[in-house]
Amino acid sequence: MESGSKLTPVKEFRVYRRNLLHREDPGNAYSITFRTATGYSLTDAAKDITFDTIKFHADKKYKLYACVVMKTHVHIILLPLEESKDNFFSLAQIMHSIKSYSANKIQRTLNKKGSVWLNENYDRIVRDADDYLEKINYVIFNPVKAGLVGESKDYKWLYYEGSG
């Protein structure tokens, strides 16, 4: 397993472990889930901040295929972009951008202290078209399955390619 900073671009396949095993392979899409800190639930304002942060970095650090911001977790499907020739943004760089910015803005806006996000996230390489469709459908229907809306299109904090 690789050691050293994960906040550097990815040039070749690498595997590393924090609490969970992480695999990065340049040119692949990922399904990522991250959770709020224990006992922390996102308010609507915090969901807005998180959703806007994810969309802000789209087409700068990654191609965004889908995301949904729920009360206690977030799902994202993305493809890291090249930072420089043959060097792709690492998942650590991407997640740091999303989590750090959104947490700081949530804390300032809502006058809260303490952790917003757990340090670890669950990420998985999307293997093929079938796996991609399974992950996209999971993201799209997550708010419906949670009983928050009758139809996915009615959930404010959902984005998927082609949804606008």
Q: Which domain holds residue 26?
A: 14-160
CB 61 within 8 A of CB 93: yes
CATH number of residue 133's parent domain: 3.30.70.1290
* Tens-digit pLDDT profile for residues 58-72: 999 999 999 999 999
Q: What is the distance between the alpha carbons of residues 32 and 139, in angstroms, rounded to a whole number? A: 11
State residue 2's pLDDT score. Answer: 40
Q: What is residue 10's DSSP assignment?
A: B
Q: Which residues contact 144 (CB under 8 A, 6 or more apart)?
A: 150, 151, 152, 155
> Is the pLDDT at 5 greater than 60, yes or no?
no
Q: What is the distance between the alpha carbons of residues 77 and 19, in angstroms, rounded to a whole number? A: 21
> Is the pLDDT at 78 greater than 50, yes or no?
yes
Whether 1 maps to a domain, the answer reads: no
Q: What pTM, to 2 d.p., does this model score?
A: 0.87
Whether 3 maps to a domain, the answer reads: no
Whether 7 maps to a domain, the answer reads: no
Q: Please, what is the average pLDDT of the chain?
A: 89
Whether 8 maps to a domain, the answer reads: no
- Helices in 111-150 by DSSP H: which ranges? 129-145
**Average pLDDT, stretch 98-120?**
94
The structural domain count of the chain equals 1
CA of 93: how far to CAs of 101, 148, 153, in Å? 12, 31, 30
Whether 5 maps to a domain, the answer reads: no
* Tens-digit pLDDT profile for residues 88-104: 999 999 999 999 999 99
Whether 109 maps to a domain, the answer reads: yes
Whether 41 maps to a domain, the answer reads: yes
* Tens-digit pLDDT profile for residues 14-71: 666 677 666 767 788 999 999 999 999 999 999 999 999 999 999 999 999 999 999 9
